[in-house]
Structure 1
Amino acid sequence: MLNLKNCFAVTDLGFAPLLLRCTNLEELVLHNCWEVSGNSFLGAGTVCLPSVTSLDLSNLRKIDDRALRKCLLMFPNLTNLNLGYCKTLGTGMFATESAAMAMVPGAKSGPSSASGLSRWGPHSAPAAATGAMLPATAGGLTGGKGHHHHGESGTTGTAPPPLLVSTGITWRTIRSLNLQRCTGLRDDAFAQWPVIGPSWSLETLLLGDCSLLTDGALHMISHTCPQLRTLGLAFCCALSEQAMAAIVRLDQLRVLDLSFCGSLVSDASVRLLVRKCLALEALGMRGCVRVDDAILDHVLDRCTAPALTPHARPVTSTSGLNGSSGSLSSGGSRPSTPPPGASKAGRGTKTSVWSRC
């Protein structure tokens, strides 16, 4: 594991050559490495890192759609990807990228014609610089004989494992994806999901604070992610009651965060949720102003189902996820305990709700 969290002074100049040599790395954390840009991944070019299973690029301010696609070609066995707070990502992040394109400097890929989109939307980031802008070692070149690739020991002449054929392979095999506060995402980005494949392995998806997403995005997600167990939608304020029809299609759902989704949470939508999602264990509705006694009655009826077992503490819900406990947790300055006057339902049951009424 290499953890560079909050290493604010690290730049492409130092990181790119390091990336080329970390052939046995299993986990890479670059959270808040503000000076690391997409050039580090574009410069790596044809290098493949098959041992990496977990990648944290959260709050990398300089990574755009194109750099992310090149990056994904390098990690054939990636299962956990954190892109939280990457606000320059947009419509083009899910566009298909092929290994052939990755080897052509300046080559662009766009949404497949099968998606019905003629070109990327307004939130696509501009193309990043190519590996030619990096020092020779950062671009994967040494200038010596047989110089095209670095081997594990740093010597030249040994070909690395082949790149993925397409980024679609990575997207379909990732099990945990954090897109929290990727505020450039719109519905047309998720229109690529059915094109990538009909059945993803995704189990955890966090979309908190993606406030431009509407019901259409959830329909794309529900049709491609049958194994989804945790879905975070806190502060997705553009969702309506009709989005619940897509959510209840996820019959494996265990944890659902609807905090501050005021237009989505209603008597009818909650009634549909508790009737259809029988595996649900944790539900967050904090800040949903339409939560009333009638809605709590629906939740209470669900809590008394014989299959549910006692839960040690109530769930407090925000757009974050507590990886250690598996329950939704509070983040930042948001309260982790119920505010004065909050109503509580399902005490001592596995489905517990704190709601601000």
Structure 2
Amino acid sequence: MVKPGAFFGEIGVLMNIPRTATIVARTKCLLVVLKKEDLQAELPKFPDMEKAILQEAQERLNILKKKRQEGTASHKTPPPLVNGVREPAPGEVSTGEVGAIKEGTVVNSKKRKSPSPGAIEDPAAGSALGSGFVNVRRTLKELPLFSTLPADILHFLGLSAQPKTYSPFTDIIQQGSAGNEIFFIVRGEAEVIHESPAQEPVKKSARASYIRPRLKAGQYFGEVASLGLSEGRTATVRAITTVECLMIPADALDTLWSRCPPDIKSQVEETARKRYKKSDEDVEMMDVDPRERASKSDPPTPTTPKALPLPHVTFTTPSKPASPTKDDHETMKPKDPDPFLSVDMENMRNRRRNSLAPPTPPSDASQTGLNGFRMHHVESTPLRFSVTQSPQSPSDSEAPVKRARTLPRRPHSALIPALPDHLLVQVFRHLDIAELMHARLVSTHWRKLLTTHPNVCLDLDLSKYNRRVTDLAIKTCIGPFVGERPQTIDISNCFHITDDGFRSLWESCGRKVKRWRMRSVWDVSANQILDMAENAKGLEEIDWSNCRKVGDNLLARVVGWVVPEQPPPQPTSKQVVISSSAAKSKPQKAAAQAQQRPAHIPKPGTIIGCPNLKHLNLSYCKHITDRSMAHMAGHASNRLESLSLTRCTSITDAGFQSWAPFRFQNLSHLCLADCTYLSDNAIVALVGAAKNLTYLDLSFCCALSDTATEVLALGLPQLRELRLAFCGSAVSDASLQSVALHLNELEGISVRGCVRVTGTGVEKLLEGCGRLQWVDVSQCRNLESWIRSGGVVRWGFDERGGNGLSPGQMPLPLPSPTQTTNHVGLGGRPLSFRRRARKPVRFIVEKGTFGLR
């Protein structure tokens, strides 16, 4: 079975041979086809991948050839029989009597049988090794002995291993026979039989009373003789079911022991010595009293200890896949099921028998199985199995049962963690969600700590796995594991999340969230975002960048407001007062006012939305209009600290003019990049409302003029970072001089792409702003002469590590020292003194060196 992620066809392409197998699509498949020419052109660019594919192709082809040789040798035509009876051919269905006429009578060599699907046997059907699609290296690596071997040794084993298949009740190796090979079971189950020596005739009769060990997939045998601990095989290994194994020959073993780590061989030697010891052989049971044995009608049969696990064997037929078995708790399986039993045919026989007459129910003694479960056996089965619950038999009481070997229990002191919980929690707080979920597998203590500790999973960042996070992953894995612990949730760019997954996320994890970031999440509706905000009343930060469903109504509900008091009713001009009914008028008026108030209006003083919201990122939300600006001014002016309105092109001057009557005392960061419709009137209103701004971004606000820059310099004295990229009409040498005079706290400024800026304006800016740390002057074409004259070197350094000149440009001669010393700065001090008193300025001269600014 070729599963998703696997590939096929590489043998024919790499080995230049015809196809070795036929691929049949059992379901609807989506395949990626790579032609031979393209593969040969691209594969040499990836030598590790080429080596891995070539080795796997060699291993598959080698196993396939050996398996076919084995099948050809086992299906040779036998010689004709003397009595003339023809043997049935493989795959033939016998529907009548087959025999011969001898001395006038018909001699039947086979009883009559009904046609059964189980009679058609395909030697390669259901074979794990004969199919040709099995990953031999993965099969070897699944064996516990070879799980730690490197790739080159596994490749050697894959080329040296010989696949073998044995039908049920077939001897794989016989006791006393010669052989140095080791067998590794890939699929199936076998039993180990110890034959009694010929010089002990008394014990030879008790062979059936031995407890026979069983070997399953992943185990090996034959190591005793291969290591030279005995002259021949020390036991007989017989297949119980169809056994597929890999045989490692003696010469390959010698090479393996020389190349593999020494602990592999020592492990095999230790297992061989333990098996070779007489104390570890099968336990011989005590003989039963002859008088008791004579009183029984049936000869004594071997018993299996009840403590041994029940084998689970599944057999398939080529015509139809194996039907799903019933629950193990409903039906007890026999100890050794019949490997030749066809379940489909038995069901057909039962239906045929039910149409004639109902079968006779078996007795209670035969139905009752172990632990009170009932066993259902078909009467037509060639081999019958019956398990009866009876008192302890003499064989159970007298025969010593071999105790299963278990690892010694770990002492309690070793279970104490090496690090205390508070240190583990500090480490876990620096891991992301995927690493935390993997760490659960370390121990039970870690799992409990990661699942329940309140200081773990405080920051849930799913943006790193935006291509893998889906609604199903949130429902089944992330939500149950994280719980209500996160304070920050980031699902930015998780484009697979829809309303269903988003609802599961905020219902299971969103109650205590303070920061919710969901940039570019397009498939979540406004109703779900509103429900999320209603669930998390403590929200302080929301990032809705590039969310298409965000509009004025959603923003107003999330920002919220306090329900005001209802204004008193206005008296009408005409009033009729009747003195006799004055006592009844007051309650009637109150009832009338209560009826006039709509039922859906909450009580005065009710808080709507998120009252602690301080940080808002609304970049690229083009449905935000001036209505939202007025709502934020009226209900959030006292708590907003940062606001980003990048490319909110629906906001005009009227939105900022609604801010004029209010004061944004806590607003320190404001980004208005790409708001191309804003003019100087908006800047005037903004400066009057938010005088405590420290960060302002006006990049690409092309409608501004020098007046806006001068208003900013006069009205925002605490400004530390100002970005005026590509504001061509708003930045000139005169506006830079105004900035240098008033913005003494300025630490960084960007005038990228402002063509009116020259060296004179930059010199005035550098002289006036003593705390300036960086200046972006990239794409200012009129500054080239100033840069070539050494202006960057005089005031600081280029962030690229050079002098600010492009390759091929020649520096101009520096000005004379007399000119520099006689120059006086804006503060009245010589320029040389101001240079010594400040730190070097970092200049950004080339576009896009460290990202867009």
| TM-score relative to the length of structure 2 | 0.29
Instruction: Indicate the residue corresponding to 2:741 in structure 1.
Output: 275
Displacement, 1:171?
3.9
> Is 1:63 matched with 2:550?
yes
Instruction: Indicate the residue corresponding to 1:84 in structure 2.
Output: 619
Aligned with 1:268: secondary structure? helix
Instruction: Indicate the residue corresponding to 2:702 in structure 1.
Output: 237
CA separation in 1, counterparts of 2:528 and 2:775?
40
> Is 1:297 matched with 2:767?
no
For the 8 Å contact 1:65–1:89, the answer to whether it is kept is yes
Alignment of 1:107-256 (within 5 A): 168-195=634-661, 197-248=662-713, 249-256=715-722
For the 8 Å contact 2:736–2:762, the answer to whether it is kept is no
For the 8 Å contact 1:284–1:354, the answer to whether it is kept is no
Displacement, 1:37?
3.1
CA separation in 1, counterparts of 2:504 and 2:627?
27
- The answer to which of 219-228 and 170-179 deviates more is 170-179
> Is 1:33 matched with 2:521?
yes
Instruction: Indicate the residue corresponding to 1:4 in structure 2.
Output: 491
Q: Which has the bigger relative contact order, CA under 8 A and spacing at least 6?
A: 1
Larger radius of gyration: 2
Aligned with 1:256: secondary structure? strand
Alignment of 1:282-321 (within 5 A): 282-303=748-769, 305=770, 308=771, 311=773, 314-316=774-776
CA separation in 1, counterparts of 2:660 and 2:525?
29
Amino acid at match of 2:796: R
Instruction: Indicate the residue corresponding to 1:150 in structure 2.
Output: none
Select which of 709, 731, 736 maps to 1:265. Answer: 731
Count of aligned residue pairs for this structure pair: 261
CA separation in 1, counterparts of 2:700 and 2:500?
37
CA separation in 2, counterparts of 1:355 and 1:261?
17
Instruction: Indicate the residue corresponding to 2:796 in structure 1.
Output: 347
For the 8 Å contact 1:262–1:289, the answer to whether it is kept is yes
CA separation in 1, counterparts of 2:682 and 2:507?
36
- Against the structure 1 CA distance between its residues 354 and 44, is the aligned structure 2 distance closer, same or farther, given a 3 Å change threshold? closer
Displacement, 1:216?
1.1
Q: Which structure is higher in helix share?
A: 2
Displacement, 1:241?
0.9
| 4+ runs deviating over 3 angstroms | 16-21, 41-45, 314-317, 339-346, 348-357
CA separation in 2, counterparts of 1:271 and 1:180?
28
**Structure 1 runs not aligned, ≥5 long:** 98-166, 318-333
- Against the structure 1 CA distance between its residues 256 and 352, is the aligned structure 2 distance closer, same or farther, given a 3 Å change threshold? farther
CA separation in 2, counterparts of 1:223 and 1:356?
36
Amino acid at match of 1:204: H
Displacement, 1:217?
1.1
- Against the structure 1 CA distance between its residues 183 and 203, is the aligned structure 2 distance closer, same or farther, given a 3 Å change threshold? same
Amino acid at match of 1:267: D
- Against the structure 1 CA distance between its residues 23 and 277, is the aligned structure 2 distance closer, same or farther, given a 3 Å change threshold? same
For the 8 Å contact 1:38–1:68, the answer to whether it is kept is no
CA separation in 2, counterparts of 1:351 and 1:282?
9
> Is 1:96 matched with 2:631?
yes
Amino acid at match of 1:40: Q
Displacement, 1:278?
1.1
Displacement, 1:350?
6.6
For the 8 Å contact 1:66–1:92, the answer to whether it is kept is no
For the 8 Å contact 1:282–1:350, the answer to whether it is kept is no
- Against the structure 1 CA distance between its residues 274 and 350, is the aligned structure 2 distance closer, same or farther, given a 3 Å change threshold? farther
Amino acid at match of 2:520: N
Aligned with 1:86: secondary structure? coil
Displacement, 1:93?
1.4
Amino acid at match of 2:517: V
CA separation in 1, counterparts of 2:525 and 2:519?
12
Instruction: Indicate the residue corresponding to 2:58 in structure 1.
Output: none
For the 8 Å contact 1:284–1:355, the answer to whether it is kept is no
Displacement, 1:286?
0.5
- Against the structure 1 CA distance between its residues 42 and 29, is the aligned structure 2 distance closer, same or farther, given a 3 Å change threshold? closer
- C-alpha offsets along residues 293-340 of structure 1, whole Å, 9 cap, x if unaligned? 22112112124x3xx37x4xx4448xxxxxxxxxxxxxxxx99xxx99
Displacement, 1:201?
0.9
- C-alpha offsets along residues 217-246 of structure 1, whole Å, 9 cap, x if unaligned? 111111111210000011111111111232
For the 8 Å contact 2:673–2:697, the answer to whether it is kept is yes
- Against the structure 1 CA distance between its residues 355 and 292, is the aligned structure 2 distance closer, same or farther, given a 3 Å change threshold? farther
Displacement, 1:63?
0.9
For the 8 Å contact 1:283–1:351, the answer to whether it is kept is no
CA separation in 1, counterparts of 2:763 and 2:784?
21
Amino acid at match of 1:39: N
CA separation in 1, counterparts of 2:641 and 2:725?
23
For the 8 Å contact 1:287–1:355, the answer to whether it is kept is no
For the 8 Å contact 2:720–2:745, the answer to whether it is kept is yes
Amino acid at match of 1:220: A
- Against the structure 1 CA distance between its residues 199 and 239, is the aligned structure 2 distance closer, same or farther, given a 3 Å change threshold? same
- Against the structure 1 CA distance between its residues 209 and 293, is the aligned structure 2 distance closer, same or farther, given a 3 Å change threshold? same
CA separation in 2, counterparts of 1:177 and 1:199?
11
For the 8 Å contact 2:704–2:727, the answer to whether it is kept is yes
- C-alpha offsets along residues 65-113 of structure 1, whole Å, 9 cap, x if unaligned? 111111212221122211111122122212338xxxxxxxxxxxxxxxx
CA separation in 1, counterparts of 2:540 and 2:526?
19
CA separation in 2, counterparts of 1:178 and 1:350?
31
Displacement, 1:194?
2.4
For the 8 Å contact 2:674–2:700, the answer to whether it is kept is yes
- Against the structure 1 CA distance between its residues 210 and 355, is the aligned structure 2 distance closer, same or farther, given a 3 Å change threshold? farther
CA separation in 2, counterparts of 1:221 and 1:77?
23
Displacement, 1:18?
4.3
Aligned with 1:295: secondary structure? helix
For the 8 Å contact 2:526–2:549, the answer to whether it is kept is yes
- C-alpha offsets along residues 115-151 of structure 1, whole Å, 9 cap, x if unaligned? xxxxxxxxxxxxxxxxxxxxxxxxxxxxxxxxxxxxx
- Against the structure 1 CA distance between its residues 37 and 174, is the aligned structure 2 distance closer, same or farther, given a 3 Å change threshold? same
CA separation in 1, counterparts of 2:681 and 2:654?
9
Instruction: Indicate the residue corresponding to 2:459 in structure 1.
Output: none
| TM-score relative to the length of structure 1 | 0.65
CA separation in 1, counterparts of 2:846 and 2:680?
24
What root-mean-square deviation, in Å, do the aligned CA atoms of Structure 1 and Structure 2 show?
2.9
For the 8 Å contact 1:31–1:60, the answer to whether it is kept is yes
The percent identity for this pair of structures is 32
**Structure 2 runs not aligned, ≥5 long:** 1-487, 561-608, 798-838, 848-853
For the 8 Å contact 1:34–1:62, the answer to whether it is kept is yes
Displacement, 1:59?
0.6
- C-alpha offsets along residues 235-266 of structure 1, whole Å, 9 cap, x if unaligned? 11111111123212101000000110000001
CA separation in 1, counterparts of 2:684 and 2:640?
19
